[in-house]
């Protein structure tokens, strides 16, 4: 197929690839955020535990 | 292939998605026409790279925020998460790029309809790409630096990090090498573009050879389409899409400007911002590049749409100084937002340029907001003036002047309102107003909660002081009673001897400690002596009794002191109860304050990042303020050489506050708190749970109430026995022991079993502490009665042992084993975490074991002593009381 003659079709194909990539990226971002959130919860817990231990050590 | 214009993700942002998709397709179609497949590939790959870069930067920022101040291990974990993410994004990006390459490779050979000579803009793009890669690597180097620090720390501590410091260094070194290559490339391009720095163009340039020409200006020029003239509709479409994109970029830049402002401020104060100003500038540069490219494209379209090129159509604005266009006016529909990217000549060759651009944007942004604030302040003033004028007019103080004022100020007020309404159209102003409103509500609520918390804690302290005073007063009276007993010990000894043994010649047949322990009540002895005197015919014996009764008036003194003590106890009972109630209420308030604080966090927070930040912040504050009262205050570290806890323990209410503090920490740690069933969990505003009487918590509360009743019954029983005569007591002893054995002991044994089950199942709010206290109080109540009666207590001695055995059974320790064996097993089990989930039960077991083993002499030690003394007093009754 002659892309030069059908630039719109080729452009649409490229846009589809780009959108597929962006969709994948969104999913990755979401799971990344979930992992960070999990780590964050651990950090918060850790901090609270440390505070508690500090008191118990006193 | 599906039509990419078809919305695939309606719920995200359908109109924007559609416009962007259309616009992108138009841009790519045009690129294909003008530059062929390679040009389109560059654009798509550029987009992919740009998204990849933005995602990586956002990921670094998110993790940076989260692990700030965390331990090295946690930072390493954060870096690992990020590294994984980056790898995945890199893979997705590579895959997409490969697809793009594949899609365009077939068309590449054909090239554009008219192959253009490589424009300076191409070289300029190479240069910018190289700079972009350098910025990207610099960003990565920044992350690597933190990772390296964390890895070195871990290695120093003998631990193995996710990646060794050497591996990290290798990556860093490779990145630096790559950077050098790109810098070399930039120098080459600079040379090719004009007499700037290095002499010759770099042969490694991938573009086809082109005639080096002096760079017309620093900013890249987009070549006008050489041949094909696009339709006005297509151009307009692309222009709209680009304007939307430009606005997005501008918005991002404005956010960056705010972040930069904060970061610079922090850096000036010597603090570490979540991201350094350098990093923010690097990101800004990338965005500026995209913005500039976009603006160039819009300008090119505008030029195409200009009157000379397309007469008869509405002209478009171009902000270039040489263009001098008429006022902007979109041809068919208004631009999506008032701002547009061509408004500003965006260029950022250096970090300083970037700063200037950001500052300019900041000025623009603050312009409307500042005007809005000024108008707002002015309106307050105008309203005040008008208000005074109306009052003046109403009271006819100086009506003419008031009318003048109203005449002038009323239109002013209206004008200000109009101005504010107009400024409110600016989304940035709206955002500011919303943020200010949220911040105000949040800060008021926070303050309110913090005050409540502090008030409640003060209440606890106040009530504890009250309780301490009561105790002190009671102690003083008890001392008085003891003093009189000591003073009159000989007289009292005679009295006991006369009553017990009819020994009228005895000087003192009872030891002071026995007297102390067995002397129940002066009034009873006095009454008994009086009865004895009345029933004695022997005059000499009557005289002896009389002299004992008169002995220094000690009976009267003691009776009075005991009556005072009794009356004081009765009087203070209500005060104590009130203080206890106050404490319980304060504890509830504290608990709710903390829970509300957590809910507040999740309800006011705007976006995930803020949730994280504020959730870390506020409960921490609350706990810190509460912690101050339980001895966490660092100022308590040294106090007469004692530890902070010892110092804190001397503070009123320490123990109770400690319990509250622990409960608070439990709440924050998300441990189940059965008392808080009416508060939704953090992060979710679920429906409030109804209190269910069948729940284990409700059963526990019921058990506590039932125990309180029993404790009260025992107290009354003890009081009654205290007022009984010797003979009455003797009869009462059997009745009491029956009461214990038939009612109290089976009852508390059953409750005990339920309590243990609750503890093991984690259904008991405080690990069973209150329940255990109640059971011990019941045992003590029985003990005190035995003390009053002077009777045997073997069943009481046995009870805790039985409880212990049952508890041992519950925590998988064979009850048939000896105690030593069981203890060994329990210790071993604890060590191996074999009793996972039973830790509360084990703790309870250990506490009770201490009690039973007599480490706390208050319980078993006293029972043992009592049993001995009772046996000596009632030798003939031995063995009767403990069995039935």
Instruction: Check if B59 contacts A (Cβ < 8 Å).
Output: yes
| pLDDT reported for residue B626 | 58
**From residue B847, how far is each of A7, B220, B748, B798 by CA, in Å?**
82, 79, 18, 17
Residues of A in contact with B630 (CB under 8 A): 55
CB-nearest partner of A17 from B32, B99, B630: B99
CB-nearest partner of A36 from B21, B81, B662: B81
Q: Among residues B531, B532, B529, which one has the least CA distance to residue B519?
A: B529
CB-nearest partner of A11 from B25, B89, B112: B25
CA closest to B632 among chain A residues: A55
**From residue B264, how far is each of A7, A28, A46, B257, B823 by CA, in Å?**
47, 31, 30, 10, 61
Q: How close is the nearest chain A Cα to the Cα of B81, in Å?
A: 7
Q: What is the pLDDT of residues B51-94, one digit of tens each?
A: 888 788 778 877 877 777 778 888 888 888 888 898 889 889 88
Test mutation, B28, B79, B637, chain A, max A CBs within 10 A = B28
pTM: 0.27
Confidence class for position A17, pLDDT limits 50, 70, 90: very high
* Three-state SS at B639: strand
Contact flag A48-B96 (C-beta cutoff 8 Å)? no
Burial class (CB within 10 angstroms; exposed 0-12, middle 13-18, buried 19+) of B229: exposed
Please report which helix (H) or strand (E) contains residue B435, including its range: helix B427-487
| CA angle at B556 for the pair B550 and B560, rounded to the nearest 5° | 175
Question: From CA B616, how far away is CA B370, in angstroms rounded?
Answer: 32
Q: What is the pLDDT of residues B300-314, one digit of tens each?
A: 777 777 655 543 343
Residues of B in contact with A27 (CB under 8 A): none
* DSSP string for B281-307: HHHHHHHHHHHHHHHHHHHHHHHHHST
CB atoms within 10 A of CB B502: 11
Instruction: Check if B36 contacts A (Cβ < 8 Å).
Output: yes
| pLDDT reported for residue B474 | 80
| pLDDT reported for residue B612 | 36
Residues 6 or more apart whose CB falls under 8 angstroms from that of B623 comprise A48, A51, B594, B661, B664, B665, B668
Residues 6 or more apart whose CB falls under 8 angstroms from that of B200 comprise B188, B191
Q: How close is the nearest chain A Cα to the Cα of B700, in Å?
A: 26
Question: From CA B373, how far away is CA B368, in angstroms rounded?
Answer: 9
**From residue B186, how far is each of B49, B123, B200, B614, B783 by CA, in Å?**
19, 9, 12, 44, 92
Please report which helix (H) or strand (E) contains residue B175, including its range: helix B165-193
CA closest to B79 among chain A residues: A36
Instruction: Check if B598 contacts A (Cβ < 8 Å).
Output: no
Instruction: Check if B70 contacts A (Cβ < 8 Å).
Output: yes
* Three-state SS at B92: helix
Residues of chain B with pLDDT under 50: 1-16, 109-118, 195-228, 310-352, 354, 361-366, 601-619, 632-641, 672-693, 791-796, 798, 832-837, 856-884
**From residue B375, how far is each of B419, B662, B847 by CA, in Å?**
7, 50, 68
Contact flag A32-B85 (C-beta cutoff 8 Å)? yes
Contact B762, B783 (CB under 8 A): no
Q: Among residues B562, B515, B882, B586, which one has the least CA distance to residue B722?
A: B562
**What's the ipTM?**
0.90
CB atoms within 10 A of CB B412: 15
Contact flag A4-B32 (C-beta cutoff 8 Å)? yes
Tokens coding B834: 């074999």
């Amino acid at each position: 197929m002659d892309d030069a003659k059908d630039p719109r079709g080729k452009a649409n194909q490229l846009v589809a690839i780009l959108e597929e990539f962006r969709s994948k990226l969104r999913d990755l971002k979401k799971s990344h955020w979930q992992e960070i959130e999990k780590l964050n919860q651990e950090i918060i817990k850790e901090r609270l535990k440390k505070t508690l231990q500090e008191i118990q050590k006193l | 292939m599906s039509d990419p214009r078809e919305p695939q993700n309606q719920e995200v942002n359908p109109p924007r998605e559609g416009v962007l998709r259309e616009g992108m397709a138009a841009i790519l179609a045009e690129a294909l026409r003008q530059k062929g497949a390679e040009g389109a590939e560059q654009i798509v790959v550029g987009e992919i790279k740009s998204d990849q870069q933005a995602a990586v930067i956002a990921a670094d920022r998110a993790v940076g925020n989260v692990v700030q101040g965390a331990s090295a291990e946690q930072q390493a974990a954060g870096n690992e998460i990020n590294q994984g993410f980056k790898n995945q994004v890199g893979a997705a990006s590579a895959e997409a790029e490969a697809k793009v390459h594949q899609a365009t490779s077939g068309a590449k050979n054909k090239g554009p309809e008219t192959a253009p000579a490589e424009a300076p803009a191409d070289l300029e793009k190479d240069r910018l790409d190289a700079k972009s890669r350098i910025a990207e690597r610099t960003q990565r180097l920044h992350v690597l630096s933190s990772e390296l620090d964390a890895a070195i720390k871990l290695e120093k501590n003998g631990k193995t990090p996710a990646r060794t410091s050497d591996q990290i260094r290798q990556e860093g070194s490779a990145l630096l090498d790559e950077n050098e290559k790109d810098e070399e490339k930039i120098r080459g391009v600079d040379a090719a573009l004009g007499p700037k720095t290095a002499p010759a163009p770099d042969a490694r340039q991938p573009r086809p050879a082109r005639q080096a020409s002096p760079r017309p200006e620093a900013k890249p020029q987009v070549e006008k389409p050489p041949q094909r003239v696009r339709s006005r509709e297509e151009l307009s479409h692309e222009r709209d899409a680009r304007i939307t994109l430009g606005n997005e970029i501008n918005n991002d830049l404005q956010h960056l400007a705010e972040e930069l402002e904060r970061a610079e401020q922090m850096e000036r104060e010597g603090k570490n911002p979540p991201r350094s100003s350098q990093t923010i500038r690097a990101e800004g540069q990338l965005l500026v590049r995209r913005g500039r490219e976009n603006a160039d494209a819009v300008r090119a379209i505008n030029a195409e749409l200009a009157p000379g090129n397309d007469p008869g159509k509405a002209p478009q604005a171009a902000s270039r100084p040489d263009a001098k266009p008429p006022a902007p006016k979109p041809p068919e529909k208004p631009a999506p937002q008032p701002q547009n990217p061509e408004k500003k000549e965006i260029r950022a060759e250096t970090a300083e340029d970037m700063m200037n651009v950001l500052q300019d944007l900041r000025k623009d942004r603050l312009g409307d907001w500042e005007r809005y604030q000024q108008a707002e302040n002015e309106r307050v003033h105008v309203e005040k003036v008008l208000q005074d004028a109306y009052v003046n007019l109403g009271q006819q103080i100086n009506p003419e002047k008031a009318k003048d004022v109203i005449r002038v100020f009323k239109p002013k007020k209206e004008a200000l309102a109009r101005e504010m309404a107009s400024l409110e159209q600016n989304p940035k102003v709206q955002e500011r107003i919303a943020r200010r409103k949220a911040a105000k509500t949040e800060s008021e609520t926070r303050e309110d909660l913090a005050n409540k918390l502090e008030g409640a804690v003060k209440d606890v302290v106040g009530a504890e002081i009250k309780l301490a005073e009561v105790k002190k007063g009671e102690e003083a009276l008890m001392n008085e009673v003891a003093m009189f007993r000591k003073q009159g010990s000989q007289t009292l000894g005679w009295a006991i001897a006369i009553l017990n043994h009819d020994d009228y010649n005895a000087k003192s047949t009872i030891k002071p400690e026995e007297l102390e322990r067995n002397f129940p009540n002066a009034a009873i002895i006095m009454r008994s002596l009086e009865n004895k005197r009345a029933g004695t015919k022997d005059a000499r014996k009557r005289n002896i009794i009389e002299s004992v009764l008169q002995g220094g008036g000690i009976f009267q003194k003691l009776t009075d002191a005991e009556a005072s003590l009794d009356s004081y106890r009765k009087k203070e009972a209500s005060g104590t109860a009130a203080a206890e109630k106050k404490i319980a209420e304060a504890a509830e308030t504290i608990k709710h304050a903390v829970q509300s604080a957590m809910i507040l966090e999740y309800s006011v927070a705007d976006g995930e990042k803020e949730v994280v930040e504020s959730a870390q912040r506020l409960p921490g504050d609350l706990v810190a303020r509460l912690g101050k009262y339980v001895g966490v205050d660092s100022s308590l570290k040294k106090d007469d050489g004692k530890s902070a806890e010892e110092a804190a323990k001397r503070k009123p209410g320490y123990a109770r506050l400690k319990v509250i503090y622990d409960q608070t920490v439990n709440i924050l740690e998300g441990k189940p708190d059965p008392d808080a069933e009416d508060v939704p969990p953090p992060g979710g505003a679920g429906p409030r749970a109804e209190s269910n009487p069948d729940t284990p918590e409700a059963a526990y509360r019921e058990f506590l109430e039932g125990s309180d009743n029993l404790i009260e019954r025992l107290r009354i029983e003890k009081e009654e026995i205290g007022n009984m005569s010797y003979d009455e007591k003797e009869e009462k002893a059997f009745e009491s022991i029956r009461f214990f054995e038939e009612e109290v002991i089976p009852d508390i044994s059953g409750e005990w079993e339920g309590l243990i089950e609750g503890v093991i199942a984690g259904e008991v709010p405080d690990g069973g502490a209150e329940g255990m206290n109640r059971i011990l109080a019941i045992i003590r109540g029985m003990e005190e009665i035995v003390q009053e009666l002077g009777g045997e207590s073997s069943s009481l001695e046995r009870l805790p042992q039985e409880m212990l055995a049952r508890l041992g059974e519950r925590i998988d320790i064979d009850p048939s084993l000896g105690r030593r064996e069981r203890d060994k097993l329990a210790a071993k089990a604890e060590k191996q975490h074999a009793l996972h989930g039973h830790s509360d039960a084990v703790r309870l077991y250990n506490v009770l074991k201490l009690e039973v083993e007599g480490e706390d002499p208050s319980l078993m030690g006293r029972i043992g002593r009592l049993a001995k003394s009772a046996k000596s007093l009632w030798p003939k009754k031995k063995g009767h009381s403990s069995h039935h």
